[in-house]
Amino acid sequence: MAQNIYDKPDFFAGYSRLGRSVRGLEGAPEWPTLRAMLPTMRGLRVLDLGCGFGWFCRWAREAGASSVLGLDLSDKMLARARAETADQAIGYAIADLEHLSLPDGSFDLAYSSLAFHYVEDAARLFASIQRALVPGGRLVFSTEHPVYMAPTKPGWTVTDDGRKSWPVDRYFVEGPRTTDWLSPGVVKHHRTIGTTLNLLIEARFRIDRVVEFCPSAAQIAQAPALAEEIERPMFLLVAAQR
């Protein structure tokens, strides 16, 4: 089973205070970019893998989706998602992305925000999603970028002249990375971009768009701390079609 870090009290408390938890989708700088990669939502049966508090599920319904199923490993997150959702066409269920079990051909869109990097077996995950989609169905997801995740010491190096750089090493050493983010001992699974894309292709997805997220000039003007995101990629966004 995947590590359920979200149900740890310290992690949950920290996560609940993040901009993206307090302000929802609009609190995530990569959301406008990811949204632009989504198909028109009207009439779609939508699956949200790692739905957290259900922000995207509710947005999808407001945008016209006919039904939304949100899956998450965290009891606590689903409890809050349910409490904040008053829509019979949105359902929530506990599920481990390592062992998805979904009815064949039952979704038009599978979406996931920053959950796949917790999954060890991406080949099995992509195959499960492929079967759960109808032919022509879409998969749109964000995940931590491997350049961000690879290093032994994932943090900025500042040189004497004040330049910030990101010390990439172990890029080709795929596998677990343990970091202290909100809580000690958070385990993520590092895969190169090549591995992620080839696993999608091998699962019979067509790659439609690959975006390494960088905030816009307008976003940086509004939140100057985002400027450092120009130096190295933090998130990888992919749109694919079954």
- What residues line the site for its own copies (CB under 8 A)? 147, 151-153, 157, 159, 163-173, 192-194, 197-198, 201, 206-212, 214, 229-233
Compute the least distance from the CB of residue 156 to its own copies, in Å. 9
H/E segment holding residue 62: helix 55-62
Q: If we measure between CA atoms, which residue out of 177, 180, 179, 182 comes closest to residue 12?
A: 182
Q: How far is the CB of 182 from its own copies (least distance, A)?
A: 24
- In the bound state with its own copies, the residue whose beta carbon lies nearer, of 94 and 173, is 173
Nearest to its own copies of 157, 222 (CB atom): 157
Closest approach of its own copies to the CB of residue 119, in Å: 20
Our CA angle for 186, 188, 192, nearest 5°, is: 155
Hey, what are 180's tokens? 């202290």
Nearer to its own copies, 103 or 155 (CB): 155
Cβ pair 193, 211 in contact under 8 A: no
- The pair of three-digit structure tokens given for residue 19, joined into one six-digit string: 């901009």
Q: Which is nearer to its own copies, 133 or 239 (CB)?
A: 239
Q: How far is the CB of 34 from its own copies (least distance, A)?
A: 13
Nearer to its own copies among residue 63 and residue 114 (C-beta): 114
Nearest to 43, CA basis, from 91, 108, 133: 108
SS3 217: helix
**Under 8 Å between Cβ of 60 and 111:** yes
Pick the closer one to its own copies by CB: 187 or 193: 193
Smallest gap from Cβ 116 to its own copies, in A, equals: 17
3-state secondary structure of 175: strand
In angstroms, give the least distance from the CB of 236 to its own copies: 8
Taking the C-alpha atoms of residue 58 and residue 184, their distance in angstroms, rounded to an integer, is 31
